Amino acid sequence: MAATQKHYANDGSHTTSYYAASANTHVLRSELVGDQTFDICVVGAGYSGLSTALHLAEKGYQVAIIEGARIGWGASGRNGGQIVNGLNASLQTIDRRYGKDTANFVAGLVTEGGDIIRERVAKYDIKCLKKTNVFTAYTSAHMRELEDRLELWRGYGIENQEMIGKEGIGKYVGSDAYAGGMIDHSGGHMHPLNLALGEAEAFEKNGGTIFEMSMVHNVDYDAKKPVVTTEKGTITCNTLVLCGNAYLGHVVPTLTHRVMPVSTQIMATQPLGEDLAKRLLPTDTCVEDIRYILDYYRLSADNRLLFGGGTVYGGTDPKNIEAKLRRTMDKVFPELRNTQIEYAWSGNFALSFSRVPQMGRLNDNTYFAHGYSGHGVTGSHTFGRILSEAIDGDRTRLDVFADVPWVPFPGGRMFRVPYSVIGSWYYGFKDRFGL
């Protein structure tokens, strides 16, 4: 079965997002037609694929990216734009589950993805970036959780965070909802589709080839040289990298059940004007709270509030996104009660049961990366670099991740969605009561 076709429009157009409406470029790349050969073929033009491909092209490899729709069509072109350091699973969890060595290793790379993004943006002049992110706390239990996180990260030598008390949070967020928070001075936010488009252009400047509107419906990685097949052509390569993430569907069955698609939604208000925008987010930081099912928001370049939240296990799109998000947004910012919503969209990320993203090899010449569990902007950039190192001959960092055991979702294929919903009720209950 092909990738999750139901999500794709016939013309491959981007979702109805504010980002698609404000993209820096609208260049269309051609489809794959006929049988072609490349040294390396990357499936998926999201950050995982683009990051891997750009690193390799910079090293001089001959690389093609093959994308079922358009560049950044998946999560990468429609996400909350929050550049959050770290993987979704906390260092504490990684330490507890996989041991001190793995935790030390992960601590060494939690800020790498943000650095790669800033380097790319500076080197290739990609217009998309703003500075800092703030994590907000609703309760004293949340504050303690943030304090523990800060202490833990300091223990690993990461010094870029600072606690903010109840009295200080208003400097960053114009809302009475919070008990305080924590600022990460090395975080940030950006226009996600423009980052993907800029990276695609950079890849092409380095000699890379991109095929759009070329859905891979068969992957033969058992052959001596891997072959991917679309409706109109094939690519035969020495090395294949699978970066379809939540949208890869059942194309590579062995990867399908390692992760579960989960949708989350975002809406964009009408432009608020400078005064109101400054009252809501005086320092133009992005914000996410630290609940299990969290809200995340930030200002666009034209002063809209982009407000996201909620999850649907299994990756379906809710019928009325505004109805789903409006109540929460109005609670955080009652001033916005009568503000119009001009865009609303949904997208899928890939959840892994442990929330640790996965990367590895299916055999000597086929690699994959996926499962950033909703926090993949930085992780996908780091994984792209690690994949490129491995393909270039140094598998040290890849092997650490490849050796981390992945945990199957309870309930198997039939029941993993309902079981996860039940699990999320428990966490939703904790969220509601601030536990």
Q: Which spans of this chain sit near ligand FAD (rule: CB under 6 A)?
A: 3, 43-49, 66-69, 73-76, 78-82, 84, 215-216, 243-248, 251, 264, 266, 296, 308, 347-349, 370, 372, 374-377, 380
Tell me how far, at minimum, the Cβ of 94 lies from ligand FAD, in Å.
17
CA angle 372, 378, 383 (to 5 degrees): 65
H or E element, residue 375: none
| SS3 label, residue 241 | strand
Q: Using the minimum distance from each CB to ligand FAD, give the nearer residue, 32 or 137.
A: 32
Q: Using the minimum distance from each CB to ligand FAD, give the nearer residue, 115 or 335.
A: 115
Burial 190-219 (b: 16+ CB within 10 A, else e): bbbbbbbbbbbbbbbebebbbbbbbbbeeb
Tell me how far, at minimum, the Cβ of 311 lies from ligand FAD, in Å.
10
Q: Using the minimum distance from each CB to ligand FAD, give the nearer residue, 31 or 168.
A: 31
Q: Using the minimum distance from each CB to ligand FAD, give the nearer residue, 255 or 272.
A: 255
Rg (the chain; Cα; Å):
21
H or E element, residue 323: helix 321-332
* Cβ 145 vs Cβ 90: under 8 Å: no
| SS3 label, residue 400 | helix
Give the span between the Cα atoms of 145 and 130, in whole angstroms: 26
CA angle 140, 141, 145 (to 5 degrees): 115
Tell me how far, at minimum, the Cβ of 188 lies from ligand FAD, in Å.
11
Q: Look at the block and give the residue holding tokens 């432009």.
A: 271
Q: Using the minimum distance from each CB to ligand FAD, give the nearer residue, 166 or 293.
A: 293
Give the span between the Cα atoms of 386 and 362, in whole angstroms: 16
Burial 148-163 (b: 16+ CB within 10 A, else e): ebbebbeeeebebbee
Give the span between the Cα atoms of 235 and 225, in whole angstroms: 10
Q: Using the minimum distance from each CB to ligand FAD, give the nearer residue, 140 or 420.
A: 420
Q: Using the minimum distance from each CB to ligand FAD, give the nearer residue, 256 or 335.
A: 256
Tell me how far, at minimum, the Cβ of 333 lies from ligand FAD, in Å.
18
Tell me how far, at minimum, the Cβ of 177 lies from ligand FAD, in Å.
19
Tell me how far, at minimum, the Cβ of 92 lies from ligand FAD, in Å.
19
Q: Using the minimum distance from each CB to ligand FAD, give the nearer residue, 143 or 267.
A: 267
Cβ-proximal residue to ligand FAD, closest one: 376
